[in-house]
A and B are shown apart, each in its own frame.
Chain A
Amino acid sequence: MLPNTFPDPLPPALRDLLERDDPAPQAAMSRRSFLKLTGLGGLALGAFPLMAAAQGVTGQTEALKPTQQPSAFLHIDADGVVTVAINRLEFGQGVQTALPMILAEELDADWAKVRTRFGDSSPAYADPAYGIHITGGSNSVKNSFLQYRELGARARAMLLSAAAARWKVDVAALRTESGKVLGPGGRSLGYGELAEAAMAQPVPARVALKDRKNFRLIGQATPRLDGAAKSSGRQDFGIDVRLPGQLTAVIAHPPVFGARLRTVDDKAARRVKGVKAVLRVPLERGGEGVAVLADGYWPAKQGREALALEWDTAAVERVDSARQLAQYRELAAQPGPRHFDADMTPLDSAPHRIEAEFVFPYLAHAPMEPLNCTVRIGADGAELWVGTQFPGVDGQAAARVFGLKPEQVKVHVQMAGGGFGRRAVGSSDYVVEACEIAKAARAAGFDAPVRMVWSREDDIRGGYYRPMHLHRARIGFDGRGRVLAWDHVLVGQSIAAGTPFEGGMVKNGVDRSAVEGMREPYPLPMRLTVHHPKLNVPVLWWRSVGSTHTAFVMETLLDEIARATQQDPVAYRLALFGDQHPRHRAALQLAVDKSGYGKRHLPAGRAWGVAVHESFSSVVAYVVEASLHQGRPMLHRVTAGVHCNLAVNPRGVEAQVQGAAMMALSMCMPGAAITFKDGEVEQRNFDAYTVARITDAPEFDVHIVPSAEPPTGMGEPGLPPLAPAFANAIARLTGQPIRELPFRLA
């Protein structure tokens, strides 16, 4: 997802891109245009601003931004059902439950009557911190906690005002409880009964929020609102969109990124029953593709397989993984931009030294739902149905393809079957592809919605990977494990280079998303040199971004220093923290205490492993138990200590930690690598690209440090410390450190 260092506010380049074409930026938007954009009005709480305007109440609501207007987020039916709009993509991380919990807390809603819907690309659903509709950087709950509390509190105030007017009593005499306003003498009105009157009340600009000791929902382990639908096949995802007359497109991508076609023979493809058209379409990086349009996925895919295509790959760079590693090693020896600096003179005279090289491969996100996007071109605009982390960016990209104004493109955000960053692409790659196909289909005379569906092979080979990285470290330390000098070199492609994010994320030649997690939070004299080579491989953020590799390097090397100086790895880290970093200390101590580390005797052949890391403002510590079974590393038990401040839904936090740990475990397993030969990705499907299975899963215990501070996110922070904790345990068994992912035992 977005890197830790994703700037706040938005990088100027992206802001320019977004605002240039936008005739109605947030600040200047009138309430009427806001209503028109959101498409609401006329019903219950859906029409607050319009009704308020009709009543002549103007000043207060205009002081509020679209992101603060209850009308865009809340609808209360006459029967008391409360529908909350979600300003994020739900792709497993649980915001569809956590955000309504926050709003319902302040609204005092009856949780059993809370439903949800997804917001679209309208300004109301922008992230309040970033100003665009975005799901990433583990920011959903963190950035919308106050926003959703205030939304709920505003609506509650309006319901109270309506009840006070109805009963002709002072608001102070009223209270709310579980979807009802209660008044003197046992009077009671349900929110549904008050909704229509409440809409006539002004929207308060300022509202008092609950004291946290009165929270009834926030902090309670709460089942997911989508649990029943997802346990019975009733949950629709983007891939399940079915529009009348819809055609399905499957596209033949170039074998090497950016390659063009030399010849196309589509005679056999056109003969496949159900195939309607074969269309040549432009792709990114100057490449081309051939889309097969059919009345379903299967004939479209059969058509694609029947294509005889010759590609010109001579004009594009053809990456080869072995050659690339050699190039990275050469580059590591060259001078380069410095991210940190320190005196390296103590290095040569240090009593103890470690010299280490780490290699990390490209990684595919591989969400279970293959990427897809459905496009309908209408008379005066276009609509997209897509599970996207970037609805605004994707809508703008679609507008450019169609030559439309951004407001002529509506993005319907769909429930997504995983994403992990792959649905937040600055170039909107798969969305643009779907739009190009729809445009070509229309030009060919098809007046039908087009659903583009990628195969798993398209997904594994489709680029936008976590970049390959090489790290080199030379560390000098004394007999007590005190680091005297740490000379570190990092080589890897910049995720931001060449994207709208470059201006905000690349400083002095260093992409901050590549170095996040380095040195932190330890007081180490480190010199960090960074190289960002350019290669013909699209790269992207991948759940926890830079920390996918920096945490591994930092936490295994520190463990190695502790081992070399006969120190306990927990005690060594706690000593480095000193009296600083209370969240790190608390998370680590909790994991240690709950695991029985240092107290419980492990079965023969098992060892403890420890790591702790902060990413995206949350800290996760793992204490793991691992063994070697016939030479194969096995992870048996994981105890987590989590510090995410106030946990809105502890059950969601637990699921995110388990899931992130499983994704990290996948990184350690044989086959968790994307490699290139002569420019082509060597992996095709789940047989060659490893995703952990239930037989690989350890036992989990997740514990959360109690806190009342405003919540920090948990979509990503569970990932970084798992692989180093596992590697540290294996190193204790073998005496040899692991310096490569997937694990390669020395």
Chain B
Amino acid sequence: MTTLDINGREHTLDVATGTPLLWALRDTLGLTGTKFGCGAALCGACTVHLDGQAVRSCITPISAAAGKKITTIEAATDGGDRIGTAVRDAWVKHDVAQCGYCQSGQIMSATAFLKSLPKGKQPTPDEIDAAMAGNLCRCGTYARIRAAIADAARTIA
């Protein structure tokens, strides 16, 4: 049994402790907003926050997530988080998504990045690219991802 703090609620799971957080979220708890893309931390589709840090849930065993605050796309964009909400709204405003499959991970990376900036600091284009370099998008939505992050940064300033 492993107890996890997910989106502010405790869940006790009867799965092997080596199970990646991704599959505990998706298959055990039904939180399917977090996506499976590569299983090897190469594409970023499975990005969630552990104590506010962006991590790849596909290679993070639940044993490593226990005792930490886990935040998934569902909670980051439900309106309760100021920066997550700003990112979500910027994504909608800039019509970022195409197929949309990678966008949960993109939004989680972008949100963690904006949270990591000193208050009032506006990211440079190079900083945005560096923060998002681990998230693949086969549809090629990168131009709008850049615009949406810059816009969200201005909104929360």
Contact = CB atoms under 8 A, between A and B. Distances in A.
A602 interface: no
Interface size grouping (class) on chain B: 35 or more
A226 B99 CA distance: 9
A231 B146 contact: no
A243 to B, nearest CB: 12
Interface string B128-157: 111011011111111111100000000000
B140 A692 contact: yes
A94 B101 CA distance: 14
A405 interface: no
B137 to A, nearest CB: 7
Central interface residue in A229, A418, A453, by most chain B CB within 10 Å: A418
Nearest to B33: A233
B64 interface: no
Contacts of B91: 227, 231
Contacts of B26: 240, 297
B36 A659 contact: no
A697 B98 CA distance: 16
A223 interface: yes
A368 B135 contact: no
Given A92-B100, A232-B88, A686 B38 contact: yes
Contacts of B136: 368, 686, 691, 693
Contact of A227 (B34, B92, B139): B92
B91 to A, nearest CB: 4
B95 to A, nearest CB: 5
Interface in B105-125: 107
Interface stretch (A105-113, A557-565, A660-668): A660-668
B156 to A, nearest CB: 16
Contacts of B132: 694
Nearest to A367: B138
A229 B19 CA distance: 28
Interface string B38-68: 1110110100000000000000000000000
B137 A661 contact: no
A417 B101 contact: yes
Given A230-B97, A416-B99, A655-B141, A368 B104 contact: no
Interface size grouping (class) on chain A: 35 or more
Central interface residue in A273, A296, A661, by most chain B CB within 10 Å: A296
Identify whether the interface residues of A are mostly helix, strand, loop, or mixed: loop
A456 B140 contact: no
B71 to A, nearest CB: 11
Interface string A639-665: 000000000000100010011111101
A237 interface: yes
Contacts of A242: 30, 32
Given A660-B140, A694-B146, A367 B23 contact: no
B101 A418 contact: yes
Contacts of A418: 99, 101, 138-139
A368 B137 contact: yes
B92 A228 contact: yes
A177 interface: no
B34 A237 contact: no
Nearest to A417: B101
A227 B97 contact: yes
Given A227-B97, A370-B37, A236 B32 contact: yes
B92 A370 contact: no
Contacts of B135: 693-694
Contacts of B39: 301, 455-457, 685
Nearest to A294: B27
A239 B99 CA distance: 13
A709 interface: no
Contacts of B107: 231-233
Contacts of A235: 100
A541 interface: no
Contacts of A686: 38, 40, 42-43, 136
A663 B136 CA distance: 12
B73 interface: yes
A700 B136 CA distance: 18
A513 interface: no
A234 interface: yes
Nearest to A684: B40
A368 B35 CA distance: 9
Given A233-B73, A273-B16, A695 B133 contact: yes
A687 interface: yes
13 contacts: A92-B98, A227-B91, A227-B96, A233-B33, A233-B73, A298-B27, A301-B39, A368-B136, A455-B39, A694-B142, A697-B142, A697-B143, A699-B143
Given A229-B100, A233-B73, A658-B144, 20 more contacts: A91-B99, A224-B97, A226-B97, A226-B100, A227-B97, A230-B97, A231-B100, A232-B74, A234-B33, A240-B32, A248-B27, A369-B35, A369-B37, A417-B35, A420-B138, A655-B139, A659-B98, A687-B40, A693-B135, A697-B142
Interface of B: 15-16, 19-20, 23, 26-28, 30, 32-40, 42-43, 45, 72-74, 77-78, 88, 91-92, 95-104, 107, 128-130, 132-133, 135-146
